[in-house]
Amino acid sequence: MENNYPWVFISSDNNMWKVYLNSSSELMYKIIYENGKWTEEKLIDTNVVEFSICVQDQTIHIVYANKKYELRYCTRKDEKWFGEKICDIQKNNFEIQTLKALISQDKMHLFYLLKSKGGSKRGILRHCIWDGKKVKQYNIQYIVLSDRIKTYYQVYAEEKNLIKIFFASNNKDELSLGYSEYKDGLWTDSKRLYGIHGSNVTFKVLKTHYTINIINKMKENFTYSLEHVCIEEDTMNMKSYKIYEGKEEPVEPIIFSVDGILFTSWLKENNVFCSKYNLDKWETPIEINKDLKEPINAYVFLNNKKLNDAYIVYGIENTSLKIISFKEISKNTVKALSKEKSDMSNYDEYVEKLKQKSKNIYYENNILKEKIDFLNKEIKEKKLSINEYENRLIKIGGEKKILKENYDFFIQVKKNIQKELENTKEQLENYKLFINKLQNSLDKKEKNNNRLKQEITYLMNENLKVKQELKLEKNKSIVDKLFKKKE
């Protein structure tokens, strides 16, 4: 639900309650009693960022998140508010968004989106179950955030403890819409339904007998669209229908059923427009409150006659509050369509159509002018980009020329080095040959030298023998001479 809107409900004593956040983050309430005027507003709590309400057995249950990252609960007994803390919320770089409370099997089911801060696109769709004492927490789905959408999920409860949740997640050039179910204490794996293109996207879900009805609002190329996707619940077969297409934005579109007939309504320039589904197509939207002069606002209306039944309604507020009911919208739509068909041949209506056509042409001309201005701006930006690319190409060409010159220089250096290397190799080979020759010569000389050494040694030995023999001969000669003298 859109929690920036006030919540309203009618109590068992037929008093209308309004609960809302003011600009100071204070959770306030006021009541309309039988006199038809608002009481003074009164405070429930401060520093509140999100809240959601359930009414069960005439008891008001309010769940809210505060700036301390706490989930809190309060209820009203004997005209006094009583509160307590449910649990703390994960706060590491996350902020809470779109809090929703449901009651199933006497337990409070809380849903919210943890949205990453600091520019990150991460989000976590979380589910908490509180029985008044303990809390169980589940991460239903990781969401990829996008600037094209603000409210990422819708949830509703059915009988037999079945809860269905529909959610959107960014997927490249589209928003992917998927769903999951909570049954028997477990969440099923998420399934993708379809993709939504464009910006300024919202979606609303209405469950009817055997079908799921979703309306999507989106903006593409300055044109707003409303489409209806009908999904057969048993087969999940889908059909889509165009409801509206135009230059003016349909604000806060809603889909509802009255007596088995589908209607889609929205606000446009403080007027309520509505389209009726008839025989596999949507009739031309028609304005149903031309006489209203007071501003129309949107509220979250809580039907206390049916558990967990909360939906967007339109209302007019001054000293009191008048809710424009779905029955009133459907009745006025059928009446206006009947009148329009009966007056189709009327000249005034023909003139009105011409005026509307002229108005549409005027709007189209304005849109075309916006497109031309936008295209001219794009052309200017493209030219700047082209000039930038040309300058880059010139710079790259200069750098390429320098690189080529350096390459040629290095190639020449490489050739010179290669040539010097080859010369050096040749010189090395010649040097090796010279060394080998020199080594051979040295080896030969070494052999000769060894032979000469052997010969010298032999001669020296012979010489020594000769000397010894000469010495003996000399000594013998001396002895002989001495003997001769004696004789």
How does pLDDT run across 221-252, given as a tens digit for each residue?
Answer: 999 999 999 999 888 999 999 999 999 999 99
Check residue 26 and give its pLDDT.
Answer: 96
Which class for 205: exposed (0-12), middle (13-18), buried (19 or more C-beta within 10 A)? buried
- What is each CA distance from 80 to 52, 75, 209, 304, 438, in whole angstroms? 19, 8, 41, 20, 120
Per-residue pLDDT averaged across 399-406, rounded? 83
CB atoms closer than 10 angstroms to residue 481: 10
111 vs 265: CA distance, rounded Å: 27
Q: 42: which strand partners?
A: 29
Mean pLDDT computed over 174-187: 94
pLDDT tens-place string over residues 251-294: 999 999 999 999 999 998 888 999 999 988 999 999 988 777 78
* Least confident window among 14-18, 71-75, 439-443: 439-443
Confidence label for 71 from pLDDT (cuts 50, 70 and 90): very high
> What residues have CB less than 8 Å from 255, skipping those under 6 apart?
204, 206, 213, 214, 215, 228, 262, 263, 264
Q: What is the pLDDT of residue 479?
A: 80
Note the pLDDT of residue 416: 86
102 beta partners: 109
pLDDT at 472: 87
Query: Is the separation of the CB atoms in 243 and 227 below 8 Å?
Result: yes
- CATH number assigned to the domain with residue range 7-344, chosen from the 4 options 2.130.10.10, 3.10.450.50, 1.20.1250.20, 3.40.50.2300: 2.130.10.10
**pLDDT for residue 421:** 86
Evaluate if pTM is beyond 0.95. Answer: no
Residue 58 has pLDDT above 60, yes or no: yes
What letter represents residue 62's amino acid?
I
Looking at residue 381, its pLDDT comes to 81
pLDDT at 2 over 50: no
* Average pLDDT of the residues in 136-165: 92
Closest among 97, 100, 99 to 122, alpha carbons compared: 97
| pLDDT attached to residue 1 | 41
Reading the block at residue 165, the tokens are 């949740």
Top-confidence residue, 363 or 85:
85
What pLDDT, on a 0 to 100 scale, did the predictor assign at position 451?
87
Distance, in Å, from the CA atom of 263 to the CA atom of 272, rounded to the nearest integer, reads: 12
Q: How many CB atoms lie within 10 A of CB 310?
A: 21
Q: What is the pLDDT at residue 448?
A: 87
For the chain, the domains span 7-344
Element (H, E) at 411: helix 347-486
Partners of 59 in the beta sheet? 56
